[in-house]
Amino acid sequence: MPNNRRNFFKQLAGIGSLLLLGKKKKAHAAYSGRSPDQLGVLVDTTLCVGCRSCEKACNRINEDLPHKPSETFRDDSVFEQRRRMEWDAYTVVNRYKNQGDEGRSLYAKFQCMHCVYPACESACIVGAFTREPNGAVIYDAWKCIGCRYCMAACPFQVPAYEYGNALTPQVRKCTFCFEKRLSEGKIPACVEACPMQVMSFGKRNDLIRKAKKKIKESSDRYLPHIYGEREVGGTAWLYLSGVAFEDIDFPKLGYGPVPGYTEPIQHAIFKWFLPPLGLYTMLGGIMWFLNKKKKNRKQLENK
């Protein structure tokens, strides 16, 4: 069965690319991030030691989240489960078994990937999610109506919801430190806090170059795959790993942007409002014609 499934995804990518044919050029630009100024972060998971300094830094910078005491971030028992981001935790680090070297565990940090073609942005009914020109995907709580369609759309299952909040629930996810750091010319808090320099921040194109160099120089250390370079049209956050990405919980995704499936359908239906107007005219025509026919018949009968 898994084989079938893979075939299916291939097919799916095929259909998707057919749809995107018109936008082929754009889709290509995706790999470089839509603009050369697109920022990004390269995460080298092979360097991560699971100290969770990034989680702590993230909790400190996002002051609207409940402040968690420092001890919480030293508690290693959290690694016993696979965690996901929560409304009050925009990033989490998970531990994985290392098949090759039992003694050394693997760690991976998760947060919003800041897609180049964000599904959340395309899905949102009121445009509460927007992608900034520098690549940060940010959220406007005021606009949000809480339909949670963005959560169903995100291919990385990132956004979390405040289900316990009855009056002002928000969708929560990593902000790329857009307001607090990037707009002041500083680097994201988690990137800065990491003692092992797992993450490097910079222009996405430079980071891809850097990653390629790393892969080339130590091919025994890295798989030749930069996760996020092409997945779903590219993401701002890029990952390097020594083991298969599925083994450290990164979903296997195709290269077509996810909104590339819905938006062409959507726009085809609404092309200059022609299809709805056409349908309207057609139905009106049928109605008029059948009515006239009936009237004629009646007149004949009356004669």
Q: Which is nearer to other proteins, 242 or 257 (CB)?
A: 257
Q: How far apart are CA 277 and CA 281, in angstroms?
A: 6
- Closest separation in Å from C-beta 85 to other proteins: 8
Stretch that binds other proteins, among 10-18, 46-54, 181-189, 217-225 (CB under 8 A): 10-18
Q: Does 196 bind other proteins (CB under 8 A)?
A: no
70 or 299: whose CB is closer to other proteins? 299
CB atoms near residue 10 (< 10 Å): 11
Burial class (CB in 10 A: 0-12, 13-18, 19+), 106: buried
Is residue 130 within 8 Å of residue 140, measured between CB atoms? yes
Q: What share of the chain is helix, strand, coil (3-state, %, to 5)?
A: 45, 15, 45
Please report whether residue 298 would count as binding other proteins according to CB under 8 A.
no
Candidate residues 31, 73, 79, 161; the one interacting with other proteins per rule CB under 8 A:
161
Dihedral over Cα of 16, 19, 21, 27: its sign = negative
Query: CB–CB of 113/227 below 8 Å?
Result: no
Binding-site partner at residue 286 among ligand SF4, other proteins, none, CB < 5 to 8 Å by type: other proteins
Question: Applying CB under 6 A, which residues contact ligand SF4?
Answer: 57-58, 61-62, 90-91, 111-115, 118-120, 123-126, 128-129, 137, 144-150, 154, 156, 158-159, 171, 173-177, 188-190
Q: Which is nearer to ligand SF4, 123 or 248 (CB)?
A: 123
Report d(CA 100, CA 242) in Å as an integer: 10
For residue 130, the cross-strand partners are 138
| 33 phi and psi angles, rounded to 5 deg | 90, 25
Q: Which is nearer to ligand SF4, 65 or 215 (CB)?
A: 65
Interacting residue ranges for other proteins, rule: CB under 8 A: 1, 4-5, 7-9, 11-12, 15-16, 19, 82, 84-87, 119, 121-127, 143-149, 151-153, 155-157, 159-166, 168-169, 249, 251, 253-254, 258-259, 261-263, 265-266, 269-270, 276, 279-280, 283-284, 286-287, 290-291, 294
